[in-house]
Amino acid sequence: MTRESSLGLVPTMGALHAGHLSLIRRARSENAAVAASIFVNPLQFGPHEDLAKYPRTFDDDCAQLECEGVDLLFAPAPEEMYPRRHGIGPQTMVDPGAIATRLDGASRPGHFIGVATVVAKLFHIVQPDRAYFGQKDAAQLAVLRQMARDLNFDLELIACPIVRDPDGLALSSRNRYLSEAERRIALAIPKALTHLQMRICDGERRSSVLLREGEAEVRAQAGLALDYLEVVDPDTLLPVAEAVPGTLVAIAATVGNTRLIDNFIAA
């Protein structure tokens, strides 16, 4: 697809921040037109998760998208995406299989079925040539790459680097849940990852050692509950014994009621 006629899509759940905007700018630079979507997808939230209180800042999001020169915004209501027919909600789901049970999929059962289903629908509705996703959600990227391959979506998936605040915390719509004290606690997440990145640079590639050290760093931080720290293949999300170049080191941890994720790709 030539740049002159191509369409780039940036799917989001709104509450936009500079991470989202980096995806939009990348899409802008590589396509003739850019579409963004804002949809807080109920299918990807578990029953005890934050669907109801997920930040919704629609007017502010629209202003930012306009500033960035986005050509088209798709912001459907839940009933539009998932109409009830004969009194029942959506029945057909996209199940990515085993990969959907790894990393976040292990702690959030059904999450990636919800993600794959909504993204498949967005791809069909918007028909982009390229779709842009953040490396921040590394497991999501792996699931969607597999889905696009398995279901023959005729588009390119583009992974964009993680955007961070100056203190190192990866930007996330959920950061606005954090109190000042919680935010300070959350900084142990990028700190642990930086430590592991440096250990890998210094030549320590054994996953067992990296995991032991990383887990010790996180557990030393009071108020931070580790959900997972894993050294995995970035395509299958299966654990690997050594962090070779390209290996994904991913973490999820909870501060108060806020679950945060972060990762890096080993050099």
What are the residue numbers of the active site? 20
Q: What CA dihedral angle connects 123, 119, 239 and 150, to 10 degrees?
A: -40
Q: Based on CB atoms, which residue is closest to ligand AMP, 71 or 165?
A: 165
Give the count of beta carbons closer than 10 Å to the beta carbon of residue 213.
15
3-state class (DSSP) for residue 179? coil
Contact range with ligand AMP by CB under 6 A, out of 26-34, 166-174, 214-222, 251-259: 166-174
Is there a contact between 173 and 15 (Cβ–Cβ < 8 Å)?
yes
Residues 2-31 that bind ligand AMP (CB under 6 A): 12-13, 19-20, 22-23
Cα–Cα nearest to 28, from 47, 9, 56, 52? 9
Q: Does 171 bind ligand AMP (CB under 6 A)?
A: yes
Q: Which amino acid is at 224?
A: L
Take residue 252 and report the two structure tokens written for it.
């999820």
CB of 138 to ligand AMP, least distance (A): 8
Cα angle 43, 47, 53 (rounded to 5 degrees) comes to 85
Q: Which amino acid is at 213?
A: E
CB of 45 to ligand AMP, least distance (A): 11
User: Where do we find the tokens 């390229």?
Assistant: 130
Q: Does 160 bind ligand AMP (CB under 6 A)?
A: yes
Buried b / exposed e along 71-85 (16+ C-beta atoms within 10 A): eeebbeeeeebbeee
CA distance 63 to 39: 16
Q: Torsion-angle region of residue 44: left (phi > 0), alpha (psi -120 to 50) or beta?
A: alpha
Q: Does 65 bind ligand AMP (CB under 6 A)?
A: no
Q: Does 251 bind ligand AMP (CB under 6 A)?
A: no
CB of 159 to ligand AMP, least distance (A): 9
The site string for ligand AMP over 95-134 (x = CB under 6 A, - otherwise) reads --------------------------------------xx
Q: Based on CB atoms, which residue is closest to ligand AMP, 140 or 207?
A: 140
Q: Based on CB atoms, which residue is closest to ligand AMP, 39 or 82?
A: 39
Q: Does 61 bind ligand AMP (CB under 6 A)?
A: no
Q: Based on CB atoms, which residue is closest to ligand AMP, 100 or 162?
A: 162
Q: Based on CB atoms, which residue is closest to ligand AMP, 104 or 217?
A: 104
User: Which residues sit opposite 85 in a β-bridge?
Assistant: 88
* Residue of 31, 37, 64, 173 that binds ligand AMP (CB under 6 A): 173
Q: Based on CB atoms, which residue is closest to ligand AMP, 23 or 210?
A: 23
| Size of interface with ligand AMP, in residues (CB under 6 A) | 17
Q: Which amino acid is at 146?
A: Q
- In the complex, residue closest to ligand AMP by CB: 134
What residues line the site for ligand AMP (CB under 6 A)?
A: 12-13, 19-20, 22-23, 133-134, 136-137, 160, 162-163, 170-173
